[in-house]
């Protein structure tokens, strides 16, 4: 896609913030791809055609360790400008005869760098800047041909530059928000030094995407698994704009959706004019398959398998279909490509659209493969998808099935739905659903507790409220919701939801807990 031409690749050495580097570059309107550190030159060119520069991410290894991930030869041989961040800077240092060693003091947190020499990297920026450091190793001796362009009290060589070869290194992390001029430093590198093309906007993406969907699918029919989440809605609408009635969206209601959600998904299809949308209510089939099962992984697997069966059955009923559309987004692509990365271990078996009909394997249409979530939202807004969908919090594929701890029955789901609705409704009114919480929901526990209501003893269900703040969902903190808000939610749930007499608030972060309970 011409739109991707003239961008940047980021070699991923395993830093938690590697994805953030790509997002920051995208915010400059420049295409950026995150690729494994051992990708070949050809793979790099394929990921970002007409490449203009390379960024080396940070990572947990030490360059002096025997198995340390190396700098591929093509990077320097290409003559492209390079910016090494943290571990990336240490790789450059080592390659040019400098020395890296474990620092006596780990440096973690804020530091002030002083700019020591003129360089394109700090052009137009303050001489003293707050930066975010996170490293255990440091440069003992700068590499040959490099000038020291900034230092801190603990890291005398905090930034280096080889002006002639346009190679730069920074010990701190320009991609994180705490680095005051981080964006400007990245702009100086990406636009100033690399001269990368700036044209990656939601509008240009939509135009290019419509064109490429048309070229890919021709006159074929496209099956879409529609969940009502932002990704499948945006993918569907792009395809609909590209090939109209060739789009066949299938929405499987597994009965574990939130209050009013199934109607909302069907309503959205109508609003967007998706004439061929098919809605299947498979609630009984799912609940039948889940009867008597309470082990979390078993529940997940049954839900995934049943989904695949229902989806496949509906697809075969529809006759000839040529393509399968999915709302895969860039973080999914990165995650599935780098299972060897430290920290990329699967804790739970995730279930998304699931069940590729066999004959459509390899016939995938994935219009959002290159986008981060925030970009998907921007594209969705430009496509006229309503705010409630565009800003919807993530909802797991198995739905309330993993929030109904223990056995999933219709009665328990109804209690959970009602409580969840009251909680999220209060948060919405307080303006905390779009900002303030990244995910907020109710969980139903498989225990009962004793209470008293009026003069009656009760022995009823327990609801847990879960609300977290996070940006990447890999780690999360519990949201510090106001006690008055929690009090209101608690009393509404106990008064309005029959069968519940106790409400708890989950004050565990991730790790050690996960966001969902199962």
Which residue in 173, 240, 254, 421 is the catalytic one?
173
Q: Which stretch binds ligand XMP (CB under 6 A): 1-9, 127-135, 350-358, 481-489?
A: 350-358
Active site residue 194: no
Is the Cα torsion angle 349, 352, 356, 357 positive or negative in sign? positive
Binding of ligand XMP at residue 351 (CB under 6 A)?
yes
Q: How far apart are CA 79 and CA 76, in angstroms?
A: 6
> d(Cα 347, Cα 2) in Å, to the nearest integer?
38
- Is omega for the bond preceding 372 within 30 degrees of 0, making it cis? no
User: Binding string, 360-399, against ligand XMP, x = CB under 6 A?
Assistant: ----------------------------------x-xxx-
Structure token pair of residue 48: 């970002």
Tell me how far apart the alpha carbons of residues 294 and 300 are, in angstroms, rounded to a whole number: 10
Query: Does position 514 bind ligand XMP by CB under 6 A?
Result: yes
Rounded to a whole number of angstroms, the minimum distance from the CB of residue 95 to ligand XMP is 38
Q: Which is nearer to ligand XMP, 90 or 227 (CB)?
A: 227
Nearer to ligand XMP, 273 or 394 (CB): 394
- Residue 86 annotated as catalytic: yes
* Cα–Cα distance, 279 to 129 (Å, whole number): 56
If you ran DSSP here, which 8-state letter would residue 394 be given?
P
Residue 501 binds to ligand XMP (criterion: CB under 6 A): no
Q: Which of residues 246-305 bind ligand XMP (CB under 6 A)?
A: none
Contacts of ligand XMP in 452-481 (CB under 6 A) = 473
Helix ranges (H only) for 329-460 are: 330-337, 373-382, 387-390, 410-429
Annotation says 404 is catalytic: no
Per rule CB under 6 A, is residue 515 in the interface with ligand XMP?
A: yes
The distance of Cα 441 from the centroid of its chain, to the nearest Å, equals 19
Distinct helix (H) and strand (E) counts, the chain: 15, 18
Mark the segment that binds ligand XMP (CB under 6 A) among 30-38, 97-105, 115-123, 345-353: 345-353
Chain residues 94-153 in contact with ligand XMP, contact rule CB under 6 A: none
Number of residues that bind ligand XMP (CB under 6 A): 15
Closest distance of CB 348 from ligand XMP, Å? 5
Catalytic residue from among 175, 237, 261, 461 = 175
* Cis before 511? omega within 30: yes
Cα dist. 65→99, 158, 197, 338, 466 in Å? 13, 21, 37, 21, 42
Interaction site with ligand XMP (CB under 6 A): 347-348, 350-352, 394, 396-398, 439, 473, 510, 514-516
- Which residues are known catalytic residues? 86, 173, 175
């Amino acid at each position: 896609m011409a739109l991707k031409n003239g961008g940047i690749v980021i070699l991923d050495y395993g830093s938690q913030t590697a994805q953030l580097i790509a997002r920051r570059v995208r915010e400059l309107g420049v295409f950026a791809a995150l690729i494994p550190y051992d990708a070949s030159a050809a793979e790099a060119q394929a990921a970002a055609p007409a490449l203009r520069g390379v960024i080396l991410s940070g990572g947990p290894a030490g360059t002096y360790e025997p198995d340390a991930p190396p700098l591929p030869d093509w990077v320097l041989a290409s003559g492209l400008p390079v910016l090494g961040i943290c571990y990336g800077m240490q790789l450059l240092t080592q390659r040019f005869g400098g020395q890296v060693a474990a620092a006596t003091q780990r440096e973690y947190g804020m530091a002030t760098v002083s700019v020591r020499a003129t360089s394109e990297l700090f052009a137009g920026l303050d001489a003293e800047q707050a930066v975010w450091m996170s490293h255990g190793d440091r440069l003992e001796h700068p590499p040959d041909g490099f000038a020291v362009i900034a230092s801190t009290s603990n890291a005398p060589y905090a930034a280096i530059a080889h002006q002639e070869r346009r190679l730069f290194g920074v010990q701190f992390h320009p991609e994180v928000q705490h680095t005051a001029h981080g964006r400007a430093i990245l702009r100086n590198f990406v636009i100033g030094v690399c001269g990368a093309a700036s044209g990656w906007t939601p509008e240009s993406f939509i135009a290019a995407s419509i064109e490429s969907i048309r070229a890919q699918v021709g006159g074929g029919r496209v099956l879409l698994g529609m969940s009502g989440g932002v990704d499948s809605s945006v993918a569907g609408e792009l395809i609909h704009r590209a090939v109209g009635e060739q789009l066949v969206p299938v929405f499987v209601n597994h009965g574990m959706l939130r209050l009013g959600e199934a109607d909302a998904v069907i309503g959205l299809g109508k609003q967007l004019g998706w004439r061929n949308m098919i809605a299947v209510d498979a609630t009984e089939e799912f609940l039948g398959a889940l009867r008597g099962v309470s082990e979390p992984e078993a529940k997940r697997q049954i839900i995934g398998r049943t989904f695949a069966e229902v989806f496949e059955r509906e697809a075969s009923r529809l006759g000839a279909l040529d393509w399968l559309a999915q709302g895969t987004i860039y973080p999914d692509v990165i995650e599935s490509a780098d299972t060897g990365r430290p920290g990329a271990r699967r804790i739970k078996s995730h279930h998304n659209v699931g069940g590729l009909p066999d004959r459509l394997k390899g016939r995938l249409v994935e219009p959002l493969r290159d986008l981060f979530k925030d970009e998907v939202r921007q594209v969705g807004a430009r496509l006229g998808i309503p705010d409630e969908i565009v800003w919807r919090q993530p909802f797991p594929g198995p739905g309330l099935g993993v929030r109904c701890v223990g056995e999933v029955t219709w009665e328990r789901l109804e209690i959970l739905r009602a409580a969840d609705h009251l909680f999220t409704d209060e948060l919405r009114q307080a303006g905390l659903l779009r900002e303030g919480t990244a995910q907020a929901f109710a969980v139903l526990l498989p225990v009962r507790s004793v209470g008293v209501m009026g003069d009656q003893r009760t022995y009823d269900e327990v609801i847990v409220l879960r609300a977290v703040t996070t940006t990447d969902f890999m780690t999360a903190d519990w949201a510090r919701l106001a006690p008055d808000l929690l009090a209101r939610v608690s009393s509404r749930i106990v008064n309005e939801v029959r069968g519940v007499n106790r409400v708890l608030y989950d004050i565990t972060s991730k790790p050690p807990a996960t966001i969902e309970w199962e």
